[in-house]
Structure 1
Amino acid sequence: MLKVLVVDDDPNILELVSIQLTQAGYRVLKASNGFEALEIIEEESPDLAVVDVMMPGMDGYTLTKKIRTETEIPVLLLTAKGELEDKEKGFLAGSDDYVVKPFEPKELQFRINAILRRYDKAVDVFIQAGPLTINRQSYEVSVGNKVLLLPLKEFELLSVLASRPNTVFTRELLLERVWGYDYEGDEQTLNVHIKRVRGQLEKLTQAVRIATVRGVGYKLEVDSL
């Protein structure tokens, strides 16, 4: 399950964001200040950080600089300020996006999904999941001497799942990463593609398979050696 660190000294905002992201299928880590956030990052290695700008002790800009200097974790800044100068300061600190309070929790979720999708597009050419190798340059999926060529959407779907074996991806996140932010179809499209990829994987290996996590989404299960 993807982990999102939420850093805010306002307990109400912290709880609101945590509830929304938990319902969206993320594992939420919470910190009330920058120093606590850095400790959690070192221990948990979250996939993304949502950082409030106006915090005592260490403001969001400073925390963002530290995060981006020491890790590759993307950062979304959360603040009550909306002036261009403040946005510029946030991006110069290394943030990936900027959401102004008050905000719709759903919008925050969409922006987080978009950031994670952009980062997934920058993965290595080769993805290894157990005996499964995915070549994102030749679009080949292989196990040993067996090679499989998938239609583009099915290939992208498998690539996302294989990028983090045994991690649960929500249906909404998979639709956004594979079909795009503005996709207006329904989840049936995803279900059909998952079924097709499952069938193709069975031809290659029994050690890698797509599991359904009821009410949440899917994950690629990989048997340990």
Structure 2
Amino acid sequence: MRILIVEDEPKTGDYLYKGLKESGYVPDLARNGHDGLHLASEQHYDLIILDVMMPGLDGWQVLTELRRKLSTPVLFLTARDDLADRIKGLDLGADDYLVKPFSFAELLARIRTLLRRGPPREKELLQLADLQIDVLKHKVTRAGVRIQLTSKEFALLHLLVAHEGEALSRAQIASQVWDMNFDSDTNVVDVAIRRLRAKVDEPFESRLIHSVRGIGYRCEVES
């Protein structure tokens, strides 16, 4: 299980990293909110441990940005045992709240509880403009017209629409659709995008799949 620790206090961050590693987890440590947000956006984690009080980008802001893209369980750490703060964190999408100082045994117990819950149920139906994806039936229609896709094309379109408005890098796409590390000499992503556009975009009036220069691709309705 991979866990991301976002903690600006050096001793606490090192303590958590060492303890989680010795407990059999695979931790990464970010020393500030900006680095934590970047790592969470670029890699898959089963759980995020997030400190609230950080300079610059604090825990509230990091969580707000995370919840626009990810449903990864988040355990808040804070030195402030204030009911209003706890309610704020939960309202923003935190899954649990632990007040400093805490026992490492309690932290491990809460981590186990959060990981046992498993991922939230995936949406069965995705909609973007006149494009509709029935996830369970693997059925795609646009403007009422059925579109036949291969399994990889379906997985690619599903990924793009599920992250509507988000620029996904070629490395992210290759990792999640083909379960492979992206090689800059490999054009598998670009070829697949071209084939997908030929089926999903070109026969229709508006385009939904857009190139993001220097990054990759994004799916959204452009005004």
1:90 maps to amino acid: I
* CA displacement at 1:124 relative to structure 2: 1.7
Structure ranking higher on relative contact order (CA contacts 8 Å, 6+ apart): 1
What's the CA shift for 1:166?
A: 2.1
Structure 1 runs not aligned, ≥5 long: 78-82, 97-114
Identical residues among aligned pairs (%): 22
Are the aligned partners of 1:142 and 1:148 in contact in 2 as well (CA < 8 Å)? yes
Aligned to 1:165: 164
Query: Which consecutive residues of structure 2, in runs of 5 or more, have no partner in the other structure?
Result: 11-29, 44-49, 99-103
Aligned-pair distance for 1:170?
Answer: 2.0
CA drift of 1:13 comes to 0.8
Count of residues in correspondence between the two structures: 182
CA shift in 2, pair 1:130/1:6, >3 Å: farther
Determine the structure 2 residue equivalent to 1:106: none
Q: After superposition, where does 1:91-130 map in structure 2 within 5 Å?
A: 91-92=112-113, 94=114, 122-130=121-129
Given that residues 8 and 52 in structure 1 are in contact (C-alpha distance below 8 angstroms), is that contact kept between their aligned partners in structure 2?
A: no
Three-state SS of the structure 1 residue aligned to 2:141 is: strand
**Which residue identity is paired with 1:196?**
R
Structure holding more helix per residue? 1
Q: Displacement of 1:131 after TM fit? A: 0.9
184 and 22 in structure 1: CA distance in 2 versus 1, 3 angstrom threshold:
closer
For residues 51-89 of structure 1, the C-alpha deviation after alignment (integer angstroms, 9 at most, x for no partner) is 68764225xxx96x985x5465679x9xxxxx7764333
User: 1:7, 1:32 within 8 Å by CA — same for their partners in 2?
Assistant: no
The residue that corresponds to 2:39 in the other structure is 21
The aligned amino acid for 1:89 is R
Q: Computing the radius of gyration over CA atoms, which structure comes out larger, 1 or 2?
A: 2
Q: Name the SS of the counterpart of 1:141 in structure 2.
A: strand
Distance (Å, rounded) in 2 between the aligned partners of 1:152 and 1:134: 13
Task: Please report how far the alpha carbon of residue 165 of structure 1 lies from its aligned counterpart in structure 2 after TM superposition.
Answer: 2.3
* Contact 2:161–2:219 under 8 Å retained in 1: yes
Q: 1:6 to 1:209 in 2, by over 3 A?
A: farther
Amino acid at match of 2:35: V
The amino acid across from 2:69 in the alignment is D
Q: Structure 1 residue 90 and structure 2 residue 111: aligned? A: yes
Q: Is the 8 A contact 1:127 1:133 kept in 2?
A: yes
Q: Secondary structure at the match of 1:138?
A: coil
> C-alpha displacement at 1:37, in angstroms?
3.0
Matches within 5 A, 1:23-42: 24=42, 32-33=52-53, 37-38=59-60, 41=63
1:134-153 alignment to 2 at 5 Å? 134-153=133-152
The Cα offsets for residues 89-136 of structure 1, whole Å up to 9 and x where unpaired, read as 3232x368xxxxxxxxxxxxxxxxxx9xx66xx432211001111122
Distance 1:127 1:19 in 2: 26
Distance 1:159 1:23 in 2: 18
The separation in 2 between residues aligned to 1:175 and 1:198, in whole angstroms, is 17
Q: 1:10 to 1:46 in 2, by over 3 A?
A: farther
CA 1:203–1:178: 2 relative to 1, 3 Å: same
> Structure 1 pair 44/179, CA: closer, same or farther in 2 (3 Å)?
closer
| AA at the equivalent of 1:33 | M
Structure 2 CA distance for partners of 1:72 and 1:123, relative to 1, 3 Å: farther
CA deviations on 1:117-169 (whole Å, 9 max, x unpaired) are x66xx432211001111122232221233111100011110011112322211
In structure 2, the residue matched to 1:47 is 69
Paired with 2:141 and 2:128, the residues of 1 have a C-alpha distance of 11
Give yes or no for contact 1:7–1:33 (8 Å, CA) kept in 2: no
Secondary structure of the structure 1 residue equivalent to 2:133 = strand
Q: Give 3-state SS (helix, strand or coil) of 1:222's partner.
A: coil
Cα RMSD (Å):
4.5
Structure-2 residue corresponding to 1:102: none
Aligned residue for 1:156, secondary structure, equals: helix
* SS at 2:140 equivalent: strand
